[in-house]
Structure 1
Amino acid sequence: MGLIELCEKYFKTSNLYEVLGITEKATDKEVKKAYHKLSLKVHPDRVDENEKLEATEKFKVLGSIHTILSDPNKRALYDETKSVDDDDYNVIVDRDWTIYWRMLFKKITDEDIKAYEKEYVGSEQEKNDLKVAYLSGKGDMDYICDQVQFARSDQESRIRGILSGMIENGEIPPYKIFTNEPARKRKRRWAKENREAKEAEELKNELGLGSGCLFTENNSLELMIKQKQQSRAQQMDSFIDDLAAKYGGDKKATKRKAAPKTETKSKRKK
């Protein structure tokens, strides 16, 4: 069975772009990110035992699609003909796609998270995320801190300044819960953050995730979230997707000790 037929079988479409959920105008970076996000859902190491067989086949199909859409010549040919050379596909279908995947998406270190935080904090993306969280949570700082990346207690003064500026400019309404937040509510939030920091450290030790642990798609941080805060697992997946797509493929990465604060905030919501 050829690649197009397998796409129809497993993903109900013969269009390679539709399988990944992107358009033909997608950039190389967008192709890689879409492949990573979808491949995580069917990665043989991330599914139940009774789903492994089908997941493995889907994983092969997605890898094959990525090799085509990430190659300028193969992609141009597919765009023109909407067909795939099955002889070529039969050659690559038997490769070890797990190795291929790991070459594309390296493990995420604490250094990567710090670099991402440095770029994110103060950016337009952060401001937009704060605005969306503020409106969705109607000014509730507990909600904002849960939804926005790196919104720790040591960042609250800066975050409040950004949102207060938006209120002054008329971008967002002045919800009373934000403008006059009770001191006891703020103290409860800070206590919760400190408690989660302690829980994260204790759980890391219980799981044997020592100082050299790395943050991977199915490693320490996600495991902590799924065990302690199941409802936030999808947020963690999204955060890891962004990091892996952004920093994937760097072979110079070295192990770093995970900083408790960064790890904790990742555990809380990302």
Structure 2
Amino acid sequence: MGLLELCEKYFNTTNLYEVLQITEKATEKEVKKAYHKLSLKVHPDRVNDAEKLEATEKFKVLGGVHAILSDKDKRYLYDTKKTVDEDDDDVLKDKDWMFYWRLLFKKVTEESIKAYEKEYIGSDEEKKDLKNAYIAGKGDMDYIVDQVQFARSEHEPRIRGILTEMIDQGEIPAFKIFTHEPAKKRQRRHAKENCESMEAEELKESLGLNSGANSLELMIKQKQESRDKQMDSFLDNLATKYGGKSEGTKRKATAKSEATGKNKRKKK
């Protein structure tokens, strides 16, 4: 499947500019910024396991789109013929898009996230995102806080103020679910956020992480290592059940047998 077909599949458009949510007049800096923003939303390390497969595919497509729009010759070809070169058409071929991403952007740390949050909150970009999420979710605050970055419960009064002003000015419709949100619905949302926050802190504590610059990176690394160990254990169990003990299991059994023999000799 070619790049334009994948854009249609995952982003409902074959227009590369629409995929990145920018205009054809966007500068190289604006192209990079748009790519960064969208790729963070689907970065495989930042989504849950159920979303990881689709997020990975979207991540690859975004990389392919950026690779074309950030190259003057490739972008000119696309702008004039609305097509892409055959060499760029298959973004699923052997190219490490994660490595490509890391070359463009520095590692994500808690400090960089906080700096971005400070810049984002109260900006025109946040207001645009709030407006789009409000319309797409038909005023449902549960949907809005899931879609808009840093939209935690502590920001809800401010967010409601921004959206209410837009309603008063006629920019967006007044959905009842927003203007008269049931108290129990709001309480469930806040309880869910508190629960997720506690789980995150417990995970960080169990991994021995603090709030330092590398804690987020280490947390991701530790989770990956944990998944790898779980997979090794799973494969060992399969090998034991269906094909005899795996090499790893054999080594463990041998070590255990030797240790048992030594203990018996000591007792004698």
Query: Could you state the TM-score of these two structures normalised by the residue count of structure 1?
Result: 0.48
- Higher Cα radius of gyration: 2
Query: Could you state the TM-score of these two structures normalised by the residue count of structure 2?
Result: 0.48
Per chain length, whose mean CA-contact separation is higher, i.e. which structure has more relative contact order (CA < 8 Å, sep 6+)?
Answer: 1
